[in-house]
Amino acid sequence: MNRIYFDNAATTALDKDVLDAMMPYMTTQFGNPSSIYSYGRETKLAIEKARKSVAALLHAHPSEIFFTSGGTESNNTAILSAIRDLGCKHIISSPIEHHAVLHTVEHYTHAGLVTSSTVKLKADGHVDLEDLEQQLANAKERCLVSLMHANNEIGNLLPIKAVGELCEKYHAIFHSDCVQTVGHYPIDLSRLHVHFISGAGHKFHGPKGVGILYINQDVKIKPFIFGGGQERNMRAGTENLYGIVGFAKALENAMANYDTDSVGILSVKKYMIEQLRQHVPDVAFNGDQEGSCLYTVLNVSFPKTEMSEMLLFNLDMNGICVSGGSACSSGANQGSHVIQALNNDPDRVAVRFSFCKHNTKEEVDAVIAKVKELV
């Protein structure tokens, strides 16, 4: 069976040249970067070269880039640091954040360390900036604003520059989960008022288990993980050497090919929208799919029937990989918290299709044919 993979927002295939860049550090150049002899110095140099590359691509200073195990650790570090080290007593987030943010905020709220609130959403799922400003203006203590740059389920893009300007106006700390946008969009951190952003390598054809946390150089925080002096005393533990090298190579590839790849991926997404409208009765879309939205994500709303409720299972049986909202909780019985926050319509079924540079319109045709049969 030929498999069609339309779940790239969950993870992407590792590029061959990324693996090639990693291989020497998985085999012959295996030294501990903390060692003083040549093996260690070689691998330490590889990490710093990767850091400089990532920083240059994000328009940051190398001292602002810290390598982590991925987006979840980066989000946790940023939120705890804002509370513990930067004096934030209230957190403003949204009901459609990734659970790596939502559950962290809930934890510290229930522990009594902060209070928290959520910003209102518009009908299309975008953050209501007027409500955000009102909450910031009325806050009696310093706030942390934690809002994701792009939603992983519906794809809506946050006006990150505008949010940063509001945070600057009201002296708030701003953290943005950029896991779905680092590697998919050119990001110029020198032009954004943001204190922390998170990224993950496996979202743009890099390796799993490695990510970044950008910490603005004006922010001084303590470590989240204690131990040795790795990552300039900020993140203890022997570095994920080959993961770091792979992250930098994957980001370099992504930005070098952005113009071509983004146009190609968007054309596949638009083609699927057209075909769904043409062939599937009463189809609808969650989020601002044809406005300010990720070119990689399409969240489709089908009328609820006995067949559509089993759509994910039946597509999987036919070699088609898609997700019912977020893949991070796809094994759970409960529905998507994002879709519930948007409309919570019990008569609709949401399916997320997400695309990459390897997907084709021929694959879309095959998926549409199967969806027509099942829905």
CA gap 273, 279 in Å, rounded: 10
Find where tokens 């939120």 sit: 79
Single out the residue of 155, 261, 264 nearest to residue 205, CA to CA. Answer: 261
Helix locations, 280-320, DSSP H? 306-309, 311-317
DSSP state of 355: -
Give one word for 12, left, alpha or beta, with left for phi > 0 and alpha for psi -120 to 50. beta
Segment holding 285, helix H or strand E: strand 284-285
**325 conformational bin, left if phi > 0, alpha if psi -120 to 50, beta if neither:** left
Partner residues linked to 185 by β-bridges: 182
| Catalytic residue check, 167 | no
- The residue annotated as part of the active site, out of 88, 293, 328, 356, is 328
Compute the distance between CA of residue 54 and CA of residue 63 in angstroms, rounded to an integer.
11
Q: Which residue in 141, 137, 157, 144 sits closest to 105, CA to CA?
A: 144
Look at residue 313 and give its three-state secondary structure: helix
244 within 8 A of 231, measured Cβ to Cβ: no
Kindly report the backbone phi and psi dihedral angles of residue 59, in degrees, each rounded to the nearest multiple of 5, phi listed first.
60, 50
150 contacts 294 by C-beta, under 8 angstroms: yes
Beta strand extents in the chain (DSSP E only) = 4-5, 65-68, 90-93, 115-118, 143-146, 173-177, 196-200, 211-215, 284-285, 297-303, 320-321, 348-354
Locate all alpha helices (DSSP H) within 154-202, ordered by sequence: 160-169
**Residues tagged active-site:** 328
